[in-house]
């Protein structure tokens, strides 16, 4: 008779292990879903916003490059942007992908460099 009680307790612990295992899988799946929502979704929004910004750039817009240069666009040809910067109006040619931000100004507003 003592053997049967041992076998019964082993079966009971096996059932509990099965529930713990399913809980672990559910927890891992939930963790992956949360990571996707917190990392991938905001990144896609940021990429979409940047693409819209690049599609709307036009001559006369003020830009900031990823190198830290501020200037005014004077020419756009496909992927190349020519802009002037500095007090001597130096002209630089860069790729559109080198633009960090675009600030469209009207009425000669100043670029805030601070």
Encode pLDDT of 19-34 as tens digits: 778 889 999 999 999 9
Number of domains in the chain: 2
Residue 49 shares a structural domain with residue 61:
no
Structural domain harbouring 1 = 1-55
Q: Which of 12-16, 18-22, 43-47 is modeled with the greatest confidence? A: 43-47
For residue 33, give both structure tokens: 């879903």
Domain contains 41: yes
Domain finish residue from 55, 74, 93: 55
Domain contains 113: no
Q: What is the pLDDT of residue 30?
A: 95
Given a contact cutoff of 8 angstroms between Cβ atoms, the answer to whether 99 and 65 are in contact is yes
Residue 76 class from Cβ within 10 Å (0-12 exposed, 13-18 middle, 19+ buried)? Answer: middle
Residue 34 shares a structural domain with residue 19:
yes
Express each pLDDT in 74-109 by its tens digit.
Answer: 999 988 999 999 899 999 999 998 999 988 655 444
CATH of the domain at 79: 2.30.30.30
Q: What is the pLDDT of residue 91?
A: 96
Domain contains 112: no
Residue 4 shares a structural domain with residue 51:
yes
Domain contains 108: no
Least trusted range by pLDDT, from 2-11, 43-52, 64-73, 86-95: 2-11
């Amino acid at each position: 008779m003592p053997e049967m009680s041992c076998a019964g307790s082993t079966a009971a612990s096996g059932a509990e292990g099965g529930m713990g295992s399913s809980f672990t899988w559910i927890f891992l799946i939930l963790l992956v879903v949360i990571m996707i929502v917190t990392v991938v979704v905001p990144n896609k929004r940021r990429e979409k916003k940047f693409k819209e910004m690049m599609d709307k750039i036009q001559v006369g817009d003020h830009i900031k490059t990823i190198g830290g240069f501020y200037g005014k666009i004077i020419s756009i040809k496909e992927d190349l942007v020519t802009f002037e910067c500095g007090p001597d109006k130096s002209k630089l040619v860069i790729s559109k992908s080198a633009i960090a931000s675009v600030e469209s100004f009207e009425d000669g507003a100043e670029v805030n460099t601070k």
